[in-house]
Amino acid sequence: MIDKVFNKSITKQFEFDEEVASVFDDMLNRSVPFYKEMQRLSINFACNFLNENDKVYDLGCSTASTLIELSKHCIHNLQLIGIDNSEAMLNRASKKAKAFGVDINLINADLHDVSYDDAKLILSNYTLQFIRPLQREKLVKKIYDSLQEKGIFIFSEKVISSNSTLNKQSIDEYYEFKKTQGYSEFEISQKREALENVLIPYTEEENKKMILDAGFSHCETIFKWVNFATFIAIKK
Ligand SMILES: C[S@@+](CC[C@H](N)C(=O)[O-])C[C@H]1O[C@@H](n2cnc3c(N)ncnc32)[C@H](O)[C@@H]1O
Ligand SMILES: O=C(O)C(=O)C[C@]1(C(=O)O)C=C[C@@H](O)C=C1
C-alpha cells in the first residue's frame, strides 16, 4: 500500500501504529535513500561473519524484511529473532515470514526489557534514533554485553552534521529526495513535525563515540548518503 499517512494535518506525534505499519514497507523505501542498497550491504557484511546456527537479533525488526532477506542470502541455518514493541508491525512480520517460509522468533517487547544473549550478530536499522538519548547509551552497552566475542553489531541511523551550514544543506537535499519519491511539501512538513522530539539523530561522530564507549574495539561507516548512515561495530 502507498504511504499517504501525512497527506492530512497531524493530530499526534509519529507512532508505529496500525496506520503506519500498513504502509511501512513503502514508507521506508521512499523515505530512506538507498534503503534497499543499505539492506543489501548490511546483509552481505553480516554473512561474512556468520556460521551454522548462529543467533541473529534484529532490534526494531518492524515487518521483518531484513531477517527474511538475510535468511534468503546466508548459506547457513540461523536462529533468527526479531524484537519490536509495535503489535501492528509484528502482525505483518509474522504473515510475511510465513509467506516466505522463514522461521523467525518474533518477540513483542520493549528493547530495554528483554535479553539478547549469546548473539553473534545484532542488527538495528533506523531504530536507535527512536530511543531517548540517556537510554540509548545504556542500550548500546547492553548490545555490547549480549554479543559473543568477535560478535558484530550492524546499525543504521539518520544523522545530523555538527556544522550548521552543512546540516541545513543536508536537510534541504533530503527533502528534495523525498519530493522525487512523490511526497508533497505538505506531507514532508507534516511528517517533520510529527517526528520532532521522537526521532533524535546523533552526528556520525557521536554514534561512533557511543559505540566505542560501550566497549566495541572498532566501528566504521560502511554506507552513507548525506544524512543516512550505516555502521558496523566489532567486539574484540
Ligand atoms: C524505523 S523502524 C525500523 C525499520 C526496520 N529495522 C527495517 O529496516 O525494516 C523502527 C522500529 O523500532 C521499533 N521500536 C522503536 N522503539 C522501540 C522500543 N523501545 N522497543 C522495541 N521496538 C521499538 C518500532 O516499533 C519500529 O518498528
Ligand atoms: O521520513 C523521515 O523524515 C525519516 O527520517 C525516515 C524514517 C526513518 O529514518 O526512520 C522516519 C520514520 C519512519 O520510521 C521511516 C523512515
Regions of the chain short of the pLDDT cut 70: none
Q: ∠ at Cα 143 (25, 72), nearest 5°?
A: 40
Which pLDDT score is estimated for 113?
A: 98
- The b/e string for 97-125 (b: 16+ C-beta within 10 A; e otherwise) is beeeebebebbeeebeebebeebbbbbbb
Question: Please, which residues bridge with residue 108 across strands?
Answer: 84
Q: Of the residues 90, 127, 142, 158, which should be mutated to test ligand 1's pocket, given the most ligand atoms within 8 Å of the CB? A: 127
Q: Is 92 annotated as a binding residue?
A: no
Ligand 1 and 16: CB distance under 6 A: yes
Which of helix, strand or coil describes residue 188? helix
To the question of whether residue 57 is assigned a binding role by annotation, the answer is: no
Beta bridge partners, 228, equal: 158, 225
> What does the pLDDT read at residue 99?
98
Nearest to 155 by CA among 104, 69, 221: 221
- How far apart CA 28 and CA 182 sit, in angstroms, is 13
Q: Is 61 annotated as a binding residue?
A: yes
Q: What fold does the segment set 18-234 form as a domain?
A: Rossmann fold (3.40.50)
207 lines ligand 1 (CB under 6 A): no
pLDDT of the residue at 82:
98
Sign of the C-alpha dihedral, residues 116, 121, 123, 129? positive
pLDDT tens digits, 86-142: 999 999 999 999 999 999 999 999 999 999 999 999 999 999 999 999 999 999 999
pLDDT at 230: 98
Residue 39 CA: nearest ligand 1 atom is: 8
Phi, psi dihedral angles at 107 (to 5 degrees): -115, 125
Q: Ligand 1 centroid to 165 CA: how many Å? A: 30
Q: What is the ipTM of this complex?
A: 0.98
Pick the closest to residue 54 from 39, 74, 72 (CA basis).
74
pLDDT at site 227: 98
- Cα(147)–Cα(215) distance, integer angstroms: 11
Distance in angstroms (rounded) separating the CA atoms of residues 25 and 199: 18
Alpha helices per DSSP H over the chain: 18-22, 24-31, 35-49, 65-73, 87-100, 133-146, 164-180, 185-195, 204-213
Calpha distance 14→197 (Å, rounded): 10
What pLDDT score was predicted for residue 168? Answer: 98
Contact 222, 232 (CB under 8 A): yes
Structure-block grid coordinates of residue 213: 564507549
For a substitution probing ligand 1, which of 27, 85, 191 has the most ligand atoms within 8 Å of its CB? 85
The pTM for the full model equals 0.98
- How open is the CA angle 145-69-139, to the nearest 5 degrees? 20
CB 192 within 8 A of CB 186: no
pLDDT at 224: 98
- The response to whether 35 counts as a known ligand-binding position is yes
Which of 32, 172, 190, 196, when mutated, tests ligand 2's pocket best, judged by the most ligand atoms within 8 Å of its CB?
32
